[in-house]
């Protein structure tokens, strides 16, 4: 399974070729998002993009934040803080959910490279 981070999903919805090609590599493997990506998409909803956002959301399964993901989030946060490499809290939560589910996280945000995990793919 693959989890799409908000950045790559927005790039895909904006028609960016790199995002489309990256996502197409995972077709047939199950594509989903986290509840935090859903939040970020809806937070950025406007009349111009509302139909596109709701259309995409209808096609994707949502992963939720569990106690196991909380533990993983704390581990990721402490590791980043110890190295002076803190990133956006929501991105920590998205990564933690993906890692705890054993899913690949597909993103276009380079700061995810600071999270040491074989489950994260930055394109």
pLDDT digits (tens, 9 = 90+) for 14-47: 999 999 999 999 888 899 999 999 999 999 999 9
Please give the pLDDT value at position 29: 86
Please give the pLDDT value at position 27: 84
At 83-96, the pLDDT tens digits run: 999 999 999 999 99
Q: What's the rounded mean pLDDT across residues 109-117?
A: 93
**Overall domain count for the chain:** 1
CA dihedral 80, 38, 30, 26 (to 10 degrees): -60
Q: What's the rounded mean pLDDT across residues 54-65?
A: 96
**Measured distance CA(24)–CA(26) in Å, rounded:** 5
70 pLDDT band, cuts 50/70/90, is: very high
For the domain that residue 29 is a member of, what is the CATH number?
Answer: 3.40.50.1010
Share of the chain above pLDDT 90, in %: 93
Identify the residue whose tokens are 């956002």: 53
Domain residues for the domain of 88 are 2-122
Identify the residue whose tokens are 């939560």: 93
Structure token digits, residue 91: 């991105």
Please give the pLDDT value at position 28: 86
Averaged pLDDT of the chain = 96
Share of the chain above pLDDT 70, in %: 100
């Amino acid at each position: 399974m693959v989890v799409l981070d908000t950045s790559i999903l927005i790039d895909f919805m904006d028609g960016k070729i790199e995002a489309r090609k990256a996502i197409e590599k995972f077709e047939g493997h199950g594509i989903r998002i986290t509840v935090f990506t859903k939040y970020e998409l809806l937070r950025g909803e406007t009349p111009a993009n509302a139909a596109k956002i709701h259309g995409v959301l209808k096609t994707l399964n949502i992963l939720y934040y569990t106690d196991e993901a909380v533990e993983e989030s704390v581990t990721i946060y402490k590791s980043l803080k110890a190295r002076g490499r803190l990133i956006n809290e929501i991105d920590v939560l998205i990564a933690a959910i993906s890692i705890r589910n054993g899913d690949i996280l597909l993103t276009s945000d380079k700061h995810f490279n600071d999270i040491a995990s074989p489950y994260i793919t930055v394109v």
